[in-house]
Amino acid sequence: MALALLAVCALPACAPSRTSGSLPRSWSGAPEDPGVTIRLVRDCVDCRAPVVVTVNGFLSEGDSLDDWRAALAERYGKCAWVHVDWEAASIASATAYLLTAGLAIAAIARTKKVSEFTADDWRRIAALVDANSWRRALRNAQTAGRALCRYLMAHRRDAPGDRYVLMGNSLGAGVVFVSLACLADAGIDDAVDSAHLLGGAVTNDTEAWRHALRAVTGAVWNYYSRNDEVLAYLYPVATLFANAPAGRSPITGVRGVENIDVSARVSGHLNYKNNAAAFLR
């Protein structure tokens, strides 16, 4: 009888579950994390399920969560849902970036072909647009990723049985990456069940992801589209061609990363979340 009871309690249904409402309704980052707020959107229906954390990306500051709500409904509809608000840039600031970048490129192109631009040329262009949206948002993603890492570690102390599924769109995938790397640095390898990158404006560097994967017990799902022109053109300039974006170029050579080509469903950088219900694993 005792053995039978032990066997029953070994089932997932007997796994630690949190009580409704134990997640904080709102959490603001430390003084070194300005502009970051993490809020509870929905408490759990099934509290044994992992907590889903969503992060929007470039051009999404101030957006509603309707697209995430639809994307999560079928597979993650019973999970508690937490969302990270951060200074990710708006369409208006992106327009300023495009105009500034275009003028800077045109000025240098008067004397040489774009294909002949040197690294110093690209640095000059980057310096001119440094105060504008894309590069500023890249820096803000670092801040938001560190804040999310601190949030997960703090809540893990309060609810050690909780597990998380992290989902980032565009630069939100960069936030997820920074958070995973931070957890890996801290030696925390059992808090994140899986991570999902939708059109990731984040490096596809093999060694960087091998390190980040130390914080994930399951898989990192990388959904990429060959139709993503924002990642094809803006991301390389903003990063001075230091790396290729995971949302255009799969992460290769890393056990635990699953690359999913969603080009047939995603026509551009702003279309991942609207179609995610069809491909989200």
Domain that holds residue 75: 35-279
**Residue at 18 is within a domain:** no
Lowest-confidence region among 27-31, 68-72, 142-146, 273-277: 27-31
Residue 246 is predicted with a pLDDT of: 96
pLDDT tens per residue, range 186-211: 999 999 999 999 999 999 999 999 99
pLDDT tens per residue, range 240-266: 667 899 999 999 999 999 999 999 999
Whether residue 16 is predicted with pLDDT greater than 80 in this model: the reply is no
* Average pLDDT over the chain, rounded to an integer: 83
CATH code, 258 = 3.40.50
Residue 7 is predicted with a pLDDT of: 38
**Share of residues in the chain with pLDDT > 70 (%):** 77
pLDDT tens per residue, range 92-136: 455 555 556 666 677 777 788 878 888 887 777 666 655 456 667
**Residue at 71 is within a domain:** yes
pLDDT tens per residue, range 34-43: 789 999 999 9
pLDDT tens per residue, range 125-145: 666 655 456 667 788 899 999
Structural domains in the chain (count): 1
**Residue at 30 is within a domain:** no
**Residue at 27 is within a domain:** no
Lowest-confidence region among 156-165, 174-183, 188-197: 156-165
The rounded distance, in Å, linking the Cα atoms of 173 and 57 is: 7
Whether 51 contacts 151, CB under 8 Å: no
Instruction: Please report where in the chains the tokens 């990456």 appear, as a residue.
Output: 177
**Residue at 238 is within a domain:** yes
Whether 280 contacts 75, CB under 8 Å: yes
Instruction: Please provide residue 184's backbone torsions phi and psi, each rounded to the nearest 5 degrees.
Output: -65, -40
